[in-house]
Amino acid sequence: MEYDRLIENDIFPIPVGDEFGKDSNEINIVYSPLTDRAILVTHEYLDMMYSYMAQPENREMLPESVTEVMNSLTDFENRKKPALLADNPNTYTRMAILPNNVCNFKCSYCYSAHGRSGKVISKEILKASLDHFIDNERISADNKLAISILGGGEPMLSWDLVKFIIEYSNERATRMGFRGMDINLVTNGSIFTQDMIDTIKKYKIPISISFEILEEIQNLQRGHYDKVRENINWIISEGIRPQLRACITQDNISLMKRMIEEVLEKFPGTREVMMEYVTDPERMTDPMVVRSFYEQYINNFFEAHDYAAEHGLLLDCSAYRNFNLLIQRFCPGDNTLTAYGEISVCSRIGAPADVGYAESIYG
């Protein structure tokens, strides 16, 4: 049966019988994302749920439990609203900044390495962009603004610009009467000075360090394990609790729980761990290999997630985080200032050599 009347009302049957040793359609998860509810039902029960929607005149003949379930799944008045997609630059409350296209690492999986040009944004363009973004005539000061300082290279190699972003943005947001200004910073963790640490602490900047956690994997994929480890322990001793962001590849996909054990033992001041999967199109040409990789990732992620939770540590990833949000697509569209002083729709496309560059630049 095609359950069109359920689907039309954003209620989706998902066959899962094979997970219980039965025919796929014998058991279904019926999921209503807009009411944030789901129920596990038999094929026969699903047919009654369909009848509830397709034949409203016969609802009184259905079991009371079916009516209660359907009332819950069709709670239209209290349905959640999806996050809006970005459709107008003048309504942005978030901004990403790529201060440079310079890096001191050569990570094996880096998406931006081919676009490295040594370009660094000028302070004049940076200030003009911040003036436009933090402007109570562009957008109401009732909003809270956010800036992410990311890598098209390594941001800390341009610390003078990063410090300017932090200080000037906070000062201007206060002067313009905005409700708040959140700034976060992503770094490879190889460069810290006392001035950096003092500034980060003063403005309460959340720090995310790209780090593979295990020495052999860090040195295989990114290098500089000892230096990054020393810096992580230094900033933790200074009262900064970093997020550690590890990339999961075929080389460490079976080591995710061990990575959590390593964090708990060697970096106990860590605030959160992110484990994002990375696929290599040159090594993963067989669809079955790709499928196996994702299955391993899911199984190992949740094993590590539960272990981390038992020890008071949060493990997350973008896919898991978005699963708990109501979004229309993975990326709503970015407002990214590149090192070239241009505006890109994607924070991963910031240099002329990047694939999709021409289609991504809109300002």
Three-class secondary structure assignment of 99-116? CECCCCCCCCCCCCHHHC
Q: Are 105 and 188 in contact (CB under 8 A)?
A: yes
Integer Cα distance of 188 and 222 in angstroms: 9
Residue 333 lies in a domain: yes
Q: What is the pLDDT of residue 114?
A: 60
User: Domain boundary at 43, 78, 113, which?
Assistant: 78
Residues 34 and 133 in one domain: no
Residue 213 lies in a domain: yes
CATH number at residue 155: 3.20.20.70
User: Domain boundary at 30, 55, 78, which?
Assistant: 78
Q: Are 32 and 11 in contact (CB under 8 A)?
A: yes
Q: What is the pLDDT of residue 344?
A: 84
Residue 134 lies in a domain: yes
Positive or negative CA dihedral for 91, 95, 100, 104?
A: negative
Residues 56 and 113 in one domain: no
- Token couple for 132: 């436009």
Q: What is the pLDDT of residue 283?
A: 74
User: What is the CA angle 49-29-303, rounded to 5?
Assistant: 165
Residues 213 and 233 in one domain: yes
Q: pLDDT tens digit string along 189-226?
A: 999 999 999 999 999 999 999 999 999 999 999 999 99
Q: Are 347 and 96 in contact (CB under 8 A)?
A: yes
Structurally, the chain folds into a number of domains equal to 2
Residues 64 and 179 in one domain: no
Whose CA is closest to 296, among 323, 256, 263? 256
Residues 154 and 32 in one domain: no
Residue 84 lies in a domain: no
- Token couple for 74: 């069709």
Q: What is the pLDDT of residue 31?
A: 92
Mean per-residue pLDDT of the chain: 90
Q: How many CA atoms lie within 13 A of 311 on its CB side?
A: 20
Domain boundaries, position 33:
4-78
Whose CA is closest to 152, among 119, 108, 125? 119
Residues 13 and 144 in one domain: no
Residues 150 and 277 in one domain: yes
Q: Are 146 and 95 in contact (CB under 8 A)?
A: yes
Q: Is 281 helix (H, G, I), strand (E, B) or coil?
A: coil
Residues 146 and 167 in one domain: yes
Residue 350 lies in a domain: yes
Q: Are 25 and 17 in contact (CB under 8 A)?
A: yes
- Token couple for 191: 């460069």
Residues 119 and 157 in one domain: yes
Integer Cα distance of 203 and 207 in angstroms: 11
Residues 218 and 350 in one domain: yes
Residues 211 and 233 in one domain: yes
Q: pLDDT tens digit string along 37-76?
A: 899 999 999 999 999 999 999 899 999 999 999 999 988 7
| Amino acid at site 52 | Y
Residue 288 lies in a domain: yes
Q: What is the pLDDT of residue 104?
A: 72
Integer Cα distance of 88 and 135 in angstroms: 15
Q: Which residues of 39-64 are buried (b: 16+ CB within 10 A; e: fewer)?
A: eebebebbebbbbbbeeeeeeeeeee
Residue 83 lies in a domain: no
Q: What is the pLDDT of residue 173?
A: 96
- Per the document, the length of the chain is 363
Q: DSSP per residue over 166-197, as a string?
A: HHHHHHHHHHTT-SEEEEEEEE-S----HHHH
**Stretch (H or E) spanning 143:** none
Residue 326 lies in a domain: yes
Q: Are 274 and 245 in contact (CB under 8 A)?
A: yes
User: Domain boundary at 29, 47, 78, which?
Assistant: 78
Residue in the structure block whose two tokens are 């003009």: 128
Q: What parts of the chain have a pLDDT lower than 50?
A: none
Q: What is the pLDDT of residue 289?
A: 87
Residues 190 and 66 in one domain: no
